[in-house]
Amino acid sequence: MNPKAVIEEILDTAQKLSLEKDRIKGIFQKSGINVDGNGKVASVNGDPLAALKSLMDNLSEMAVVKISAKQIVRKAGLTI
């Protein structure tokens, strides 16, 4: 699975786990990942793998989402 697909799966999972949609969107944007109005990944600024690493660091403020994100990354066979 490529990094962009992993990012999309993490976003989808985050939106299912949390009611704080604006907070999730803010974390993704802080990581260089643009989310559109429909809650989908619109674009990734720069290298998707670097954005994914930044996202994992920034998800520390939402522990449940970060745990799920780690599982998604492992399942995809990526190391960050």
> pLDDT tens digits, residue range 4-38?
999 999 999 999 999 999 999 999 999 999 999 99
Tell me the residue ranges of DSSP E strands in 10-56.
Answer: 33-35, 41-44
How many separate domains does the chain show? 1
Alpha carbons 61 and 9: distance in angstroms, whole number: 19
Domain range for 45 is 3-76
Rounded to 5°, the CA angle 73-9-62 comes to: 75
DSSP 47: -
Q: Are 75 and 68 in contact (CB under 8 A)?
A: no
Give this prediction's pTM.
0.94
Tell me the residue ranges of DSSP E strands in the chain.
Answer: 33-35, 41-44
Closest CA to 15 of 3, 5, 27: 27
> Whole-number mean pLDDT of the chain?
96
